[in-house]
């Protein structure tokens, strides 16, 4: 009955932590493609090929349902995977959907015409690949009108977090927020469009100011997954064991993950 959770590195652990707390009875297999991280500076074909390889590995672990806990993979690869690659008996879900549902206050299956929403000026902080894909803007436009989205590519933040250099990460966050505010001086909401960024949520909030609503994804994804499994219990796969897999150095990744989650996490070689 295992569910797979995939990220290029450690950022998806923010999602994993939330879904484990929400669904403690479900075993999760986490896959970190640390040998190829970060994905945010790669081209779309690279991201697609790496993501499909990782998802296939999670299927081998008995995970018929996989969460792409990686905005870059969700933005650059998921639509292509859904159109031509995923078998009928498997599911791969991204992290954009719950976020856009929250922002537009409408369910994903609501196919009524786009309508106005309360928030008009949205700042999107994401990796360069996510920004280049314009996936968030595309999906938002299907559901809302009159929303101005200003995207800021946050180079270096993921690397700093993965390396545990929080001083550098905070400095980069302030720099990227300053750059965003030069383009959009008064955002009403900010989207942390990378699963690494919740670790820096306080830094983003401080730089943006208390009047800006900051949306991150972990709890939204957990609520959405619980609802999905309630409606589709057959998508729980055959896997029975919680595991942590990585393409990188398991000792190094385990150390980073333990620091990330503040509890012991032990990775195996994928």
- pLDDT in the model for residue 125: 97
Same domain, 109 and 148: yes
Task: Assign residue 131 the CATH number of its domain.
Answer: 3.40.50.1860
Co-location of 30 and 80 in the same domain: yes
Q: With contact defined as beta carbons under 8 Å apart, do 22 and 226 qualify? A: yes
**Does 165 have pLDDT greater than 70?**
yes
Residues 91-110 have pLDDT tens digits of 999 998 888 888 888 775 67
Answer yes or no: do 143 and 253 share one domain: no
- Considering the domain architecture, whether residues 175 and 209 belong to the same structural domain is answered as yes
On whether both 224 and 169 belong to a single domain, the answer is no
What are 245-258's pLDDT values in tens digits? 999 999 999 999 99
Mode of pairing for the β-strands spanning 121-126 and 148-153: parallel
89 and 27 together in one domain: yes
Do residues 191 and 114 share a domain? yes
Give the pLDDT mean for 225-249.
92
d(Cα 193, Cα 155) in Å, to the nearest integer?
A: 13
Mean of per-residue pLDDT scores for the chain: 93
Q: What's the total number of domains in the chain?
A: 2
In a shared domain, residues 237 and 205: no
Residue 127 and residue 113 share a domain: yes
Residue 109 sits in the same domain as residue 187: yes
Q: Which tens digits make up the pLDDT trace of 20-45?
A: 999 999 999 999 999 999 999 899 99
pTM, two decimals, is 0.88
> How far apart (Å, rounded) are the C-alpha atoms in residues 177 and 72?
20
Which amino acids are annotated catalytic?
70, 194
At 108 the pLDDT is 58
Count helices and strands in the chain by DSSP H and E runs: 12, 12
pLDDT at 139: 84
Q: Which of 1, 16, 9 is nearest to 261 (CA)?
A: 16
pLDDT in tens, 184-206: 999 999 999 999 999 999 999 99
More confident of the two residues 236 and 252: 252
Residue 122 sits in which domain range?
97-215
What band does 70 get if pLDDT is binned at 50, 70 and 90? very high
Half-sphere exposure of 87 (CA within 13 A, CB side): 8
Q: Do 234 and 203 share a structural domain?
A: no
Residues 118 and 60 in one domain: no
């Amino acid at each position: 009955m295992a569910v797979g959770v995939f990220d290029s590195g450690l950022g998806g652990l923010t999602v994993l932590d939330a879904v484990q707390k929400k669904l403690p009875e479900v075993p999760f297999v986490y896959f970190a493609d640390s040998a190829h991280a970060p994905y945010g500076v790669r081209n779309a074909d690279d991201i697609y090929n790496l993501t499909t390889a990782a998802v296939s590995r999670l299927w081998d672990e008995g995970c018929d349902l996989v969460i792409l806990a990686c905005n870059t993979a969700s933005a650059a690869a998921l639509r292509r995977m859904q159109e031509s690659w995923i078998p009928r008996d498997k599911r791969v879900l991204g992290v954009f959907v719950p976020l856009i549902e929250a922002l537009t206050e409408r369910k994903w299956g609501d196919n009524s015409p786009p309508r106005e929403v309360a928030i008009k000026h949205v700042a999107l902080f994401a990796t360069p690949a996510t920004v280049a894909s314009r996936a968030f803007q595309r999906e938002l436009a299907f559901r809302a009108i009159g929303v101005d989205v200003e995207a800021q590519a946050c180079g270096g933040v993921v690397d700093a977090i993965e390396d545990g250099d929080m001083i550098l990460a905070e400095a980069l966050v302030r720099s990227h927020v300053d750059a965003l505010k030069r383009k959009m001086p008064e955002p009403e909401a900010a989207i942390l469009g990378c699963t690494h960024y919740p670790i820096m949520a306080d830094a983003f909030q401080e730089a943006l100011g208390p009047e800006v609503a900051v949306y991150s994804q972990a709890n939204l994804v957990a609520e959405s997954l619980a609802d999905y499994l309630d409606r589709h219990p057959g998508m729980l796969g055959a896997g029975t064991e919680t595991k942590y897999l990585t393409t990188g150095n398991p000792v190094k990744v385990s150390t980073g993950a333990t620091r990330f989650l503040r509890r012991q996490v032990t990775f195996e070689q994928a």
